[in-house]
Amino acid sequence: GQNIDQPTEMTATEGAIVQINCTYQTSGFNGLFWYQQHAGEAPTFLSYNVLDGLEEKGRFSSFLSRSKGYSYLLLKELQMKDSASYLCAVRPRIDYKLSFGAGTTVTVRA
């Protein structure tokens, strides 16, 4: 399998910024996804990176460095509804298989 590491938990204050790191080791690389999953709900797509650099989507941004096997998801202007698990998933080759990390539980406090 693939080796994907992300922190287990993070806590931040409403209105603040949080950065969730993801490191991976794969045999080849064909894209990295970030998903958000609220407790008891389905994962929902947040972002996709295949080239190095930063992709910005509103309050959420995702960064990729292929040479370092590293990505981060940046959440700005945190809101209470952002409390959820954030899953990093890597597509290791030109195929369909996504390998997911264990997820990072973000808790936003007032």
Give the interface with other proteins as residue ranges (CB under 8 A): 4, 31, 33, 35, 40-45, 48, 50, 87, 89, 95-98, 100-103
Beta strands per DSSP E along 38-69: 44-49, 53-57, 60-65
The residue among 94 and 110 lying less far from other proteins, judged by its C-beta, is 94
CB of 14 to other proteins, least distance (A): 25
- Rank residues 39 and 110 by Cβ distance to other proteins and give the closer one: 39
CA angle 76, 42, 90 (to 5 degrees): 70
Angle at CA 86, nearest 5°, toward 70 and 58? 85
Task: Round to whole Å and give the CA distance between 62 and 54.
Answer: 6
**Toward other proteins, which CB reaches closer, 29 or 48?**
48
Chain-centroid distance of CA 55 in Å reads 12
Q: How far is the CB of 64 from other proteins (least distance, A)?
A: 13
* Residue (69 or 103) nearer to other proteins, CB: 103
Least separation in angstroms between CB 75 and other proteins: 19
CB of 91 to other proteins, least distance (A): 9
Give the type of residue at 71. Answer: S
